[in-house]
Structure 1
Amino acid sequence: MLSTIATTIPRRALCVRTLPISQTRYASHGTPHYNEPSGYLFGEKPLPQGQKRKREDWELLWYYGMFGSMALAAVGLYYKPDTRYAMAFIPQLLTALIIFNPASKLGH
């Protein structure tokens, strides 16, 4: 019995997956993990005198979307329904429905 245990242990040890001694580390290229400051605004070097900056494809879409949504929100807030007149009728409505009685202490 002892001999069968002694022979099965090495077989089991061979079946176990061996892990590498050194780990493989992905995306750690030895460079800094942040963009080092270059001294230029947004990392763009200034253009030579007389040249204009070329816009990227997404910039106009962003401008139209951002300022268009602000304009739409301003128009919506300007024309929203006025509900101030209803605030005067709320206590009368609640007392008529016997839900709210300002004279009672509500059990306090």
Structure 2
Amino acid sequence: MRNVSIDTPNHPVVVAAQAFSAHPDVDALIVVSGRDETARRATEAWLTFNEIPFDRLLLRRTGDQRADNIVKAEIYDAHIEPHFDVIGVVDDRRSVVEMWRSRGLVCFQVAEGDF
């Protein structure tokens, strides 16, 4: 696992997350990460330290090496879509952005993510 604590937050995304979290139409801010469960504590600490609000953190299963777009689609289908009315999604990886949009979701692509 890479050192999560050295990841640099994207300041405009942090500000947007804070604004979304404070909005009365937003019931929950859900973070879906391609990191696996071994990074849960470090990711929660990083989010908190960087003042990124979240109500739920959903991660891939430990050892799951499949592509992010597949893993995040399964997380969405099982844990988000049945329970939440999604207002929008933020992501950077093009394949994941395309997956969100193929599901009819508004996705804000926050970086050139062709990786």
**TM interval, short-chain normalised:** under 0.3
- RCO comparison, higher one (Cα < 8 Å, 6+): 2
TM-score computed with the length of structure 2 as normaliser: 0.14
TM-score computed with the length of structure 1 as normaliser: 0.14
Q: Which has the larger radius of gyration?
A: 1
More strand by share: 2
